[in-house]
Amino acid sequence: MTATHDTLPFHEVQAVDVSKIYDRIVALRRVNFKATAGTITGIVGPNGAGKSTLFHILSTLVAPSSGRVLFDGSDVSAWQPRSALRGQIGMLGHQSFLYPDMTGEENLTFFGTLFGIGRADLPDAVKRVLECVRMDHAKTRRVKHCSRGMTQRLAFARVLLQDPTLWLLDEPTTGLDVDTRAAMLDIISSQKVNKRIVVVISHDPEALHVVADRVLRLDRGRIDDNGTGDT
C-alpha cells in the first residue's frame, strides 16, 4: 500500500555543513543543501567530486566526519530504531544488490518480504513493478544471465517495490535503451505527485532536464553555488 503525504515519516532531508575525510583526502567540504517532499534534485559533477560519498551519507550508511544530516530537522541519532529510518531510504547505486543465482522474480519476492509486503499482496506487487520496468518477459531469467541494462531495470524495480520516502538514484538510466530510459524517467517524475523526496546523480544532462526541479553541481567536494539553479 502506498503511503500518503500526510503519513510519510519525514518530508525533508537536509545536509548541514557535511564534510567527509578519508585518510587525509577530503571527499566533501561543508556541503549544505535541502530536498523536500514532492521535489527532484539533480546532482552533477566530475568523477571524484564526492557525489557517491554524499549519497552514502544521506543513506545513513556512512557517518560524516563533521556536520549533520537532518530528517525533518532531527538528527539521524534521534531515529530509534535506526532501521525504521533506513527502511524509508531507497538507493540505486553502482551495485545492484541483487543475488546473481536467483531470478529477477525471486529477487523481488525476497526483497518484498524484507520490505514487509504481506504474503497475499506480494505476487501482485512483484508483477506490477516488473511490468513497470519492462522486465515481465524475463522474470524467470537468473540475474547472472541478464545484460547490464536488464540488471539495472531489476535494481530499479527493487526500489520501486520498496516505495521509500527518500529515493537516492545514482545514474539510473545507465545501460538502458531509448524506450526503457523514457519509461524510467516517467516513473521518476511520477514520484513528485507521490510526494517522495528524490535525489538523482546523473551524467545525462538531458535526463536531469526532464525530471529535476533544480540541479546542483558538486565539484571537489563542494556545492558550487554558480552551478545551481532550475532546469
Is the pLDDT score of 209 beyond 90? no
The answer to whether residue 61 sits within a structural domain is yes
The per-residue pLDDT of the chain, averaged, comes to 91
Is the pLDDT score of 6 beyond 80? no
> What mean pLDDT do residues 36-61 have?
93
Say what the pLDDT of residue 230 is. Answer: 42
Same domain, 146 and 174: no
Domain that holds residue 75: 8-88+166-225
Say what the pLDDT of residue 204 is. Answer: 82
* pLDDT tens for each residue of 76-95: 888 888 888 999 999 998 88
Say what the pLDDT of residue 225 is. Answer: 53
Domain count, the chain: 2
H or E element, residue 14: strand 12-22
Please tell me the distance from the alpha carbon of residue 36 to that of residue 92, in angstroms, as a whole number: 19
CATH number of the domain within which 200 lies: 3.40.50.300
Same domain, 58 and 79: yes
User: Cα–Cα distances in Å, from 157 out to 16, 69, 107, 163?
Assistant: 31, 27, 10, 10
Which of residues 169 and 4 earns the better pLDDT score?
169
Same domain, 147 and 173: no
Helix ranges restricted to H, the chain = 51-58, 82-86, 104-114, 122-132, 148-162, 178-193, 205-211
> What mean pLDDT do residues 18-47 have?
94
Please tell me the distance from the alpha carbon of residue 106 to that of residue 59, in angstroms, as a whole number: 25
Same domain, 159 and 176: no
* pLDDT tens for each residue of 101-126: 999 999 999 999 999 999 999 999 99
DSSP class of residue 79 equals: S
Handedness of CA 71, 77, 79, 85 (dihedral sign): positive
Same domain, 12 and 69: yes
Same domain, 171 and 200: yes
The answer to whether residue 113 sits within a structural domain is yes
Amino acid sitting at position 29? R
Is the pLDDT score of 47 beyond 60? yes
Same domain, 111 and 83: no
Question: Which are the contacts of 111, defined by CB distance < 8 A and separation ≥ 6?
Answer: 158, 161, 162
Please tell me the distance from the alpha carbon of residue 226 to that of residue 33, in angstroms, as a whole number: 14
* pLDDT tens for each residue of 127-181: 999 999 999 999 999 999 999 999 999 999 999 999 999 999 999 998 889 989 9
* pLDDT tens for each residue of 166-198: 999 999 998 889 989 999 999 999 999 999 999
> What mean pLDDT do residues 60-79 have?
92
